[in-house]
Amino acid sequence: MILQQELKEIVKINDLVKIKSNMKNIKNNGFDLDGYVLKEIEQILNTQTIERTKYYINRLIKGLSEVRTNKVNDINLARWKEYDDIITDSLWILDKRDSSGGHNANYWGNFIPQIPNQLIRRYTKEKEWVLDAFLGSGTTLMECNRLNRNGIGIELQPEVIELAKNNIINDASIYNNDNKARIEIINANSVNLDYKNKLNEIGIEKVQLIILHPPYWDIIRFSEDSQDLSNAKTLEDFLSQMNKLIANVTKVLDKNRYLALVISDKYENGEWIPLGFRTMQEVLKYGYILKSTIIKNFEETKAKLNQKELWRYRALVGGFYVFKHEYIFLFEKG
């Protein structure tokens, strides 16, 4: 409050040199300033006109006194520069996966934690509900717990559920906080599940974000279960099952909220199969608006670990390019 009062007095001054002198005093003389305020002051000190200087001071006053968020997240737009770790570009270059807490790469095909972290922070508010229809090792639910969002995970294989539970427990013990997020895990086939009934059992009607990270068809076979999407006999069978899943989850997603599909393509018998875009088209059949197509890099997967030279040779022989990316398709429910 004292800082705001000082700034309000400074902005009344009509001498640029005096304004900057006062701003330097604020910077150097005892105020407890966070990184956001320090960056704003630096920008003020680098201005060339009194009009621009006052504009930035008034913006800083608003940033200190106002909280302005939109309908789908808790990002304070009055201090938007503070969120420099929120990615807004459509190309995500991530050097390595987050391996903190319960996160690990011990389960085939689990996505890096930075993906759900970014999506949850950008498209939900605290205490809202996130649905992950392919729980896997529990990556999304760990991020939900850390970010104080309620999470629901669906998983077909009981043994994988046990792995996820252990990861979530280990993560929660390390990241012990005051969050009281609810975590619900359901053993079921996510394609045919009656989501409305299950949510009623939990005590809710709708979720506010859906994250889908299905098997990339049969690139990795996760089980011998015929219900497992990685055992779909044909591409059309895979897409048909994804269509059913999307129809079911759409019923429990709030209007104007978001669904994210994380998927890649496939190379087989000398042909690049556009699995990602074919699956994206299935989502669009249900009235969604495609908001973004994000390309995310990956350098090493468990399947290709220590096989870079082999894959380079195969690419040279086969006339193709080695996969170094996957897609994150972002949709808004109309």
Residues 194 and 326 in one domain: yes
Q: Is residue 33 part of a domain?
A: yes
Q: Is residue 81 part of a domain?
A: no
Residues 200 and 116 in one domain: yes
Indicate the pLDDT class of residue 324, thresholds 50, 70 and 90. confident
Give the per-residue pLDDT at 110: 74
Indicate the pLDDT class of residue 105, thresholds 50, 70 and 90. confident
Q: Is residue 75 part of a domain?
A: no
Q: Is residue 80 part of a domain?
A: no
Residues 97 and 60 in one domain: no
Model confidence pLDDT, tens digit, residues 134-156: 999 899 999 999 999 999 999 99
Cα separations in angstroms, 30 against 3, 39, 115: 11, 17, 39
Q: Per residue, what are the HEC states of the chain?
A: CHHHHHHHHHCCCCCHHHHHHHHHHHHHCCCCCCHHHHHHHHHHHCCCCHHHHHHHHHHHHHHHHCCCCCCCCCCCHHHHHHCCCCCCCCEECCCCCCCCCCCCCCCCCCCCCHHHHHHHHHHCCCCCEEEECCCCCCHHHHHHHHCCCEEEEEECCHHHHHHHHHHHHHHHHHCCCCCCCCEEEEECCCCCCCHHHHHHHHCCCCEEEEEECCCCCCCCCCCCCCCCHHHCCCHHHHHHHHHHHHHHHHCCEEEEEEEEEEECCEEECCEEECHHHHHHHHHHCCCEEEEEEEEEECCCCHHHCCCHHHHHHHHHHHCCCCCCEEEEEEEEEC
Model confidence pLDDT, tens digit, residues 281-303: 999 999 999 999 999 987 655 55
With a cut of 80, say whether residue 166 has pLDDT above it: yes
Residues 186 and 261 in one domain: yes
Residues 95 and 62 in one domain: no
Contact, 66 vs 78, CB < 8 A? yes
4 vs 179: which has the higher pLDDT: 4
Residues 277 and 319 in one domain: yes
Q: Structural domain of residue 48, as residue ranges?
A: 2-66
Give the per-residue pLDDT at 306: 66
Q: Is residue 79 part of a domain?
A: no
Give the CATH number for residue 124: 3.40.50.150
Residues 15 and 164 in one domain: no
Residues 144 and 285 in one domain: yes
Q: Is residue 153 part of a domain?
A: yes
Residues 135 and 187 in one domain: yes
Give the per-residue pLDDT at 234: 95
Q: Is residue 248 part of a domain?
A: yes
Average pLDDT of 246-268?
96
Could you tell me which residues come within 8 angstroms of residue 253 by beta carbon, excluding any fewer than 6 positions away? 131, 206, 207, 208, 210, 259, 333
Residues 213 and 261 in one domain: yes
Q: Is residue 77 part of a domain?
A: no
Please tell me the least confidently modeled range out of 152-161, 176-185, 205-214: 176-185
* Cross-sheet strand order for the sheet of 325-333: 91-92, 288-297, 325-333, 253-263, 207-212, 129-132, 150-155, 183-187
**Domain count of the fold of the chain:** 2
